[in-house]
A = this chain, B = another copy of it.
Amino acid sequence: MKFSFEQLFKFTKSIFIKIGCPEEEAETAAKVLLSADLRGVDSHGVARLSGYVRLWEANRINATPSIKIIHETPSTAVVDGDGGLGLVVAPFAMQVAIDKAKIAGTGWVSVKNSNHYGIAGQHAMMALEHDMIGISMTNASPLVSPTFSTERLLGTNPIAVAIPAKSQPPFVADFASTTAANGKLEILKRKSEEAPLGWIQDKNGNPTTSPDGVKDGGALLPLGGDREHGSHKGYALGAIVDIFSAVLSGANYGPWVPPFVAFLQPDPNPVGEGLGHFFGAMRIDAFRPADEFKSNMDIWINRFRKAETISGQEKVLIPGDPERELEAERRSIGIPLLKPVEEDLRALGEKFGVEF
C-alpha cells in the first residue's frame, strides 16, 4: 500500500506538534524522518514514529529543548541538544558547522544530549547547496560486537559524506559501519529467510544465519564480518564514529548509549548525556575554486559510472545513485508502507486525534 509524501509529511508533523514540538521544529523533524522513507531506508523513517513517541512518553525526549552551543572556536563547536529529538538537534548542529565553514573554511560540531537523528545522509546533504562537502555521523544503541568479543559495545554507527559535482548529481555515501544494517534482518525475518554468513554472530560469538541471532543475545558484526575479512577495520570505523560523536562532546559512548526502544532502560550510571553526533562542513573553495573541483568530480563520476562491469552486472554505481532514483520514484508514485507500519500509524493517529 502506497502513501503520498505529502500525506505522510502532514501526519508526521501533526504528531510531533501533538507531543509538544513547536511548529517549525515539528516540520523539520517530519522532513528529516521522511527523508529516510523517500531514500529507501524504510527502517529509519515513519516506521519509527511511534518509537519516538514512546520515548517522549517515557520522559526521555524533550519536545521543547533549548539547543545551544556550549563551547566553540573559529572552526569547532560543541552543541548541547537538551534531550531534544535528534531529528531537530542534528539540523541545528549541521547548520552551525556550515556557518563556521563560511568563515573559517571548515566547521566541525560534536553534539551531546541528543537522541536518534534519522538517516545520516540527510544532514550531510545540507552542505551541498553551499558548495561544501558535508559529513555526518552518530553513535547508536549497542548492537555490535568488536572483533573477538561476545559483548555488544557499539551501535551500527553510520558515516555519511556528501560531495557536490557539476553536471552530475552529488556523490552521497551513507553507510553503517557494520556488514548489514539491523533493518535488513527485519526484512529477512518477515520473509522467513536466512541471513548470509558474516552478518551476525550468536550469543557465544559463533557465526549464525538466523535472522533472530541478535534478538537471541547475539550481535551484528562490524564491516568485514570476521578478522580474516577485515572486521577489525569495521570495528575501528565504528569506534572512531563513537569517539568523535560522544567522547569529544560529553555524550554516552559504547555500551552506555541509551537504547532507542522505550522498554529498555538507559544505564543508571551513564558516562555522559544522551547520545552523540558529529558533523563536518568543508567549503570547497577553501581548497580550490569550486567550479574546478566540481568539473573534476564530473570526470571522477563519469569514469566510475562507465567502468567495465562483471558479466551479469548492469552497471557500476556511484554512492547515492540508488537512493536518488528511489526518491524520484517515491515522490511521484508514493511511499510503500508495510501493513504493520500502516496499522501502527493509524493507531497513533487515533490516540492523538490526528487523521491518518
Question: A299 — which chain B residues lie within 8 A by C-beta?
Answer: 271
A354 within 8 A of partner (CB): no
Question: A177 — which chain B residues lie within 8 A by C-beta?
Answer: 233
* Interface locus among A73-81, A208-216, A328-336: A73-81
Which A312-330 residues have C-beta < 8 A from chain B?
Answer: 313, 315-317, 319
- A75 touches which of B104, B250, B309 (Cβ 8 Å): B104
* Interface locus among A40-48, A88-96, A234-242, A339-347: A234-242
Q: Are B150 and A248 in contact (CB under 8 A)?
A: no
Interface size class of A (residues with CB under 8 A): 35 or more
- A173 touches which of B236, B255, B310 (Cβ 8 Å): B236
A20 within 8 A of partner (CB): no
A75 touching B78 in the complex, CB below 8 Å, given contacts A150-B309, A308-B150: no
Give the one of A75, A229, A286 with max B CB within 10 A. A75
Q: Are A296 and B271 in contact (CB under 8 A)?
A: yes
Question: A146 — which chain B residues lie within 8 A by C-beta?
Answer: 304, 307, 316
Question: A296 — which chain B residues lie within 8 A by C-beta?
Answer: 247, 250, 253, 271-272
Q: Are A282 and B205 in contact (CB under 8 A)?
A: no
A263 within 8 A of partner (CB): no
> CA of A223 to CA of B232 in the docked complex: distance in angstroms?
11
A204 within 8 A of partner (CB): yes
CB-nearest residue of chain B relative to A197?
B229
A180 touching B230 in the complex, CB below 8 Å, given contacts A151-B307, A254-B303, A300-B254: yes
Write the A166-183 contact mask toward B (1 if CB under 8 angstroms, else 0): 000001010111111000
Q: Are A286 and B148 in contact (CB under 8 A)?
A: no
Q: Are A243 and B163 in contact (CB under 8 A)?
A: yes
A297 within 8 A of partner (CB): yes
Write the A113-133 contact mask toward B (1 if CB under 8 angstroms, else 0): 000000000000000000001
> CA of A250 to CA of B285 in the docked complex: distance in angstroms?
12
> CA of A232 to CA of B110 in the docked complex: distance in angstroms?
27
A161 within 8 A of partner (CB): yes
Which A291-307 residues have C-beta < 8 A from chain B?
Answer: 292-293, 296-297, 299-300, 303-304, 307
| Nearest Cβ on chain B to A114's Cβ, whole angstroms | 15
Could you list 19 examples of A-B contacts with CB < 8 Å? A71-B287, A74-B104, A146-B316, A148-B309, A149-B307, A149-B310, A149-B316, A151-B307, A173-B240, A175-B236, A196-B228, A205-B313, A225-B229, A237-B237, A242-B300, A249-B287, A249-B288, A254-B303, A272-B296
